[in-house]
Amino acid sequence: QQQVKQSPQSLIVQKGGISIINCAYENTAFDYFPWYQQFPGKGPALLIAIRPDVSEKKEGRFTISFNKSAKQFSLHIMDSQPGDSATYFCAASRRAGGTSYGKLTFGQGTILTVHP
């Protein structure tokens, strides 16, 4: 079963627009929520991450919003640029304890295209 569900599968925005990608998780033991960015032919790379003790984290044009009660989190890309065109993955894990320790569960991925 897919423990982290991501939407949309693909997203097209104009340069300067806002890109929003959403994720929902099922396991309430998850306590670390990163986003990874992947360019064609490359491996994923960490973009930004959040822990559930805060509701929002911002790094430059990238913001994670986290809603613990709804078990949802989202990535907002402000002033989207053509160079942001990539595949984005949300993910979740738990920091310690239990059989899930050490494992990062990924969403299905979103292909973002930013038109000039």
Partner 1 sequence: NAGVTQTPKFRVLKTGQSMTLLCAQDMNHEYMYWYRQDPGMGLRLIHYSVGEGTTAKGEVPDGYNVSRLKKQNFLLGLESAAPSQTSVYFCASSPYGGAGELFFGEGSRLTVL
Residue placing its CB nearer to partner 1 in the complex, 15 or 51: 51
- Structure-derived torsion over alpha carbons of residues 89, 95, 96, 99, reported in degrees to the nearest 10: -10
Query: Exactly one of 22, 65, 72, 105 binds partner 1 (CB under 8 A); which one?
Result: 105
Asked if 89 is part of the footprint of partner 1 (rule: CB under 8 A), the reply reads: yes
Q: Report in angstroms how near the CB of residue 101 gets to partner 1 at its nearest.
A: 6
Residue placing its CB nearer to partner 1 in the complex, 17 or 113: 113
Q: Report in angstroms how near the CB of residue 4 gets to partner 1 at its nearest.
A: 8
Q: How far is CA 91 from CA 1, 61, 63, 84, 116, in A?
A: 15, 20, 15, 19, 29
Q: Are 109 and 7 in contact (CB under 8 A)?
A: no
Return d(Cα 79, Cα 28) in angstroms, integer: 33
Residues between 9 and 48 that touch partner 1 (CB under 8 A) = 9, 31-32, 34, 36, 41-46
